């Protein structure tokens, strides 16, 4: 055997030995990694304190508000599209359930809630967001020092219900973990106040907001809470944006009935209007009910309460407060046409010119476009939001 062959054989033996040793070393490393990962000296995160943290992280966000990043309010603009939403800070969460009862001995023993109560959660959430709405309200979290009963909170909260002509509402985070209107018998760990930022007449202004902050701080001291006051400049900008939308969609449509002959006797007219389905109102106007406790449109005799006759009636539709599916304009026009023959009248516009069918059809098309704009701004006509803004 030559020297070259001996060298090749020796090199092959060395190479095979090196590969074998390397594989054994890799197996040893893998075994040690598995032992470290699943060794008994480690706590099971599903059974120990880590589970509590995981549960807290997975807990659902409060109704009507999500996380700080997601709890943004989309503001409507003049063209009906939402503007860039301003950031709203999520209120801090405090003790819940048995922990809350330990903080306040007056809370008494825990109450077992039936399955029927759990089924009402969605309804309570809807009521809560109807009262404190992140789209039209300035939200102010109130972190309570201890959990409190609604019986203790309500007397203090009733002292601050309006600032200017802007209503203030409150909701509470119940020990069940759900946001709900504050009621007697409820137990709450966190509150949230909401002041409406605009109405038909004005936007929330600096003086009103300053008054709100001062009075809210005093109220918070009384109930043992810490308010989280939003920046005034941001709130004023949101309020003005919202009011521009309200002012741009504050639409009322009217059709008039003019007598073709002598003026109508008020006494005779009242009988005719009641037969038509109108309800008499104390201010001398008449309302056509929508069948669900609301008003579809109204009618005015255009004279004082003491007048004996009138020759001019006005039917008026408050467009943003009547839902599209009720077809308020169509119902109003149909009512006017029905009264034409009964009263010997003509349908006219505000200048006394006859309203032709083509004109009425054109107006109806504009009403439908109006409804689309309101829906695009997430303030559908006739919705709770619209009723609050246009009340």
Q: What single-letter DSSP state applies at residue 78?
A: T
Please give the structure tokens belonging to residue 330: 């169509």
HSE on the CB side for 221, CA within 13 Å? 5
Q: Is the pLDDT of residue 298 over 90?
A: yes
Q: Which residues of 127-149 are buried (b: 16+ CB within 10 A; e: fewer)?
A: bbbbbbbbbbbbbbbbbbebbbb
Q: What single-letter DSSP state applies at residue 177?
A: S
pTM recorded for the entire structure: 0.67
CATH of 252-389, one of 1.10.10.10, 3.20.20.70, 3.40.309.10, 3.30.1400.10: 3.30.1400.10
Q: 91, 132 in Cβ contact below 8 A?
A: no
Mean of pLDDT values over 46-61: 38
Q: 376, 81 in Cβ contact below 8 A?
A: yes
Q: 112, 279 in Cβ contact below 8 A?
A: no
H or E stretch at 367: helix 357-376
Q: How far is it, in rounded angstroms, from Cα 89 to Cα 225?
A: 17
Residue count of the chain, please give it. 391
Query: pLDDT tens digit string along 357-386?
Result: 999 999 999 999 999 999 999 999 999 999
Other CB atoms within 10 A of residue 338 CB: 12
At residue 280, the pLDDT reads: 84
Domain boundaries, the chain: 59-248, 252-389
Query: pLDDT tens digit string along 152-183?
Result: 999 999 999 999 999 999 999 999 899 999 99
At residue 124, the pLDDT reads: 61
Mean of pLDDT values over 235-264: 96
At residue 1, the pLDDT reads: 58
Q: What is the three-class DSSP state of 7?
A: helix
9 to 1, 2, 17: CA distances (angstroms): 11, 11, 13
Q: How far is it, in rounded angstroms, from Cα 341 to Cα 345?
A: 7
Which has the higher per-residue pLDDT, 286 or 45? 286
At residue 120, the pLDDT reads: 57
Q: How far is it, in rounded angstroms, from Cα 163 to Cα 166?
A: 5
Which has the higher per-residue pLDDT, 375 or 63? 375
Q: 315, 270 in Cβ contact below 8 A?
A: no
Across the chain, what does the average pLDDT equal? 78
Q: Are strands 187-196 and 295-300 parallel, antiparallel or unpaired?
A: unpaired
At residue 95, the pLDDT reads: 32
Instruction: Please give the full DSSP string across 203-254, using - where no structure is assigned.
Output: B--HHHHHHHHHHHHHHHHHHTEEE-PPPHHHHHHHHHHHHHHHHHT--EEE
The helix-helix angle for 206-223 and 232-248 (nearest 10°) equals 120
Q: 187, 175 in Cβ contact below 8 A?
A: yes
Q: Is the pLDDT of residue 258 over 80?
A: yes
Q: What angle do CA 21, 27, 28 make, to 5 degrees?
A: 90
Q: Which residues of 162-185 are buried (b: 16+ CB within 10 A; e: fewer)?
A: ebbebbbbbbbbbbbebbbbbeee
Which of the four pLDDT bands, split at 50, 70 and 90, describes residue 82? very low
Which of the four pLDDT bands, split at 50, 70 and 90, describes residue 128? confident
Mean of pLDDT values over 288-297: 93
Q: Is the pLDDT of residue 27 over 80?
A: no
Which of the four pLDDT bands, split at 50, 70 and 90, describes residue 139? very high
Please give the structure tokens belonging to residue 136: 């039209």
Mean of pLDDT values over 292-304: 93
Please give the structure tokens belonging to residue 278: 């109108």
CA 225 to chain CA centroid, Å, is 24
Q: Are strands 309-310 and 264-265 parallel, antiparallel or unpaired?
A: antiparallel
At residue 141, the pLDDT reads: 97
Residue indicated by tokens 């005719």: 272
Please give the structure tokens belonging to residue 167: 């209503």
Q: How far is it, in rounded angstroms, from Cα 99 to Cα 94?
A: 9
Q: How far is it, in rounded angstroms, from Cα 139 to Cα 196?
A: 9
């Amino acid at each position: 055997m030559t020297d070259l062959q001996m060298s090749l054989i020796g090199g092959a033996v060395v190479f095979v030995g090196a590969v074998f040793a390397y594989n054994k070393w890799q197996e040893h490393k893998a075994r040690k990694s598995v032992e470290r990962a699943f060794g008994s000296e480690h706590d099971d995160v599903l059974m120990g304190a880590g589970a509590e943290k995981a549960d807290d992280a997975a807990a659902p966000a409060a109704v009507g508000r999500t996380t700080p990043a997601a709890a943004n309010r989309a503001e409507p603009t003049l063209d009906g599209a939402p503007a860039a939403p301003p950031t709203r800070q999520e209120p801090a969460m405090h003790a819940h359930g048995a922990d809350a009862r330990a903080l306040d001995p007056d809370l008494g023993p825990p109450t077992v809630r039936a399955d029927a109560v759990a089924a009402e959660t969605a309804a309570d959430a809807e009521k809560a967001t109807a009262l404190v709405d992140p789209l039209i309200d300035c939200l102010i979290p109130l972190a309570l020092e201890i959990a409190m009963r609604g019986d203790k909170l309500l007397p203090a909260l009733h002292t601050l219900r309006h600032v200017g002509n802007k209503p203030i509402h409150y909701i509470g985070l119940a020990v069940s973990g759900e946001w709900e209107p504050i009621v007697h018998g409820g137990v709450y760990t966190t509150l949230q106040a909401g002041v409406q930022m605009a109405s038909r007449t004005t936007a929330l202004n600096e003086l009103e907001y300053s008054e709100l902050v001062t009075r809210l701080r005093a109220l918070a001291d009384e109930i043992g809470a810490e308010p989280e006051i939003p920046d005034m400049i941001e709130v004023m900008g949101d309020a003005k944006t919202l009011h521009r939308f309200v002012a741009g969609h504050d639409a009322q449509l009217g059709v008039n009935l003019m007598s073709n002959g002598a003026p109508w006797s008020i006494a005779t007219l009242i009988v005719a209007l009641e037969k038509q389905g109108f309800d008499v109102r104390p201010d001398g106007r008449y309302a056509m009910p929508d069948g669900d406790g609301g008003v579809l449109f109204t009618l005015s005799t255009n004279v004082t309460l003491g007048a004996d006759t009138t020759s001019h009636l006005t039917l008026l539709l408050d467009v943003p407060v009547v839902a599209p599916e009720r077809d308020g304009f169509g119902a109003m026009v149909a009512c006017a046409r029905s009264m034409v023959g009964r009263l010997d009248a003509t349908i006219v516009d505000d200048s006394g010119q006859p309203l032709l069918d083509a004109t009425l059809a054109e107006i109806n098309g504009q009403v439908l476009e109006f409804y689309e704009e309101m829906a695009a701004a997430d303030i559908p006509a006739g919705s709770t939001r619209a009723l609050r803004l246009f009340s």
